Amino acid sequence: MLEDITWLSSDEMNGRHFLSLEAKKAAKFIADEWKASGFVPLPSFDSMYIPIGIPNAAPNVAAMWEGKEKSYVIVMAHYDHLKPKREGEDRIFNGADDNASGTAALIAIAKAIHTLKPHLTSSIVLLATSAEEAGLVGATHFANEECLPMHRIKAVINLDMISRGDPNTIFLEGSPDAPSISVALQNANKEVGLTIVRDKHPDWMYRGDQRPFWQAGIPSVFLSVEDHEDYHMVTDEVDRIIPELAAKTAEITLHAAIELAGPRVP
* Nearer of residues 4 and 98 to Zn ion, judged by Cβ: 98
* Cα dihedral 164/201/137/184 (nearest 10): 80
Instruction: Give the shortest CB-66-to-Zn ion separation in angstroms.
Output: 29
What is the Cβ-side half-sphere exposure of residue 252, based on CA atoms within 13 angstroms? 31
Shortest distance, position 264 Cβ to Zn ion, whole Å? 35
Query: Is residue 60 classed as helix, strand or coil in its secondary structure?
Result: strand
Smallest distance from Zn ion to CB 133, Å = 7
Nearer to Zn ion, 60 or 99 (CB): 99
| Residue in 100, 144, 143, 133 with CA at minimum distance from that of residue 19 | 133
Q: Which residues pair with 126 in a beta bridge?
A: 63, 75
Nearer to Zn ion, 160 or 230 (CB): 160
Closer CB to Zn ion, 37 or 158, in the complex: 158
Q: Please identify, using beta-carbon distances, which residue of 164 and 255 lies nearer to Zn ion.
A: 164
Q: Return residues touching Zn ion (CB under 5 A).
A: 98-99, 160
CB of 241 to Zn ion, least distance (A): 14
71 vs 249 by CB, closer to Zn ion? 249
Whole-Å CA distances, 159 to 84, 86, 150, 184: 24, 29, 20, 15
How far, in Å, CA of 70 to CA of 183, rounded?
A: 23
Pairing of strands 49-50, 72-78: unpaired
What's the burial of 179, exposed, middle or buried (CB within 10 Å: 0-12/13-18/19+)? Answer: exposed
β-pairing, 123-129 with 60-65?
antiparallel
CB 20, min distance to Zn ion, A:
16
Give min distance, CB of 98 to Zn ion, in A. 4
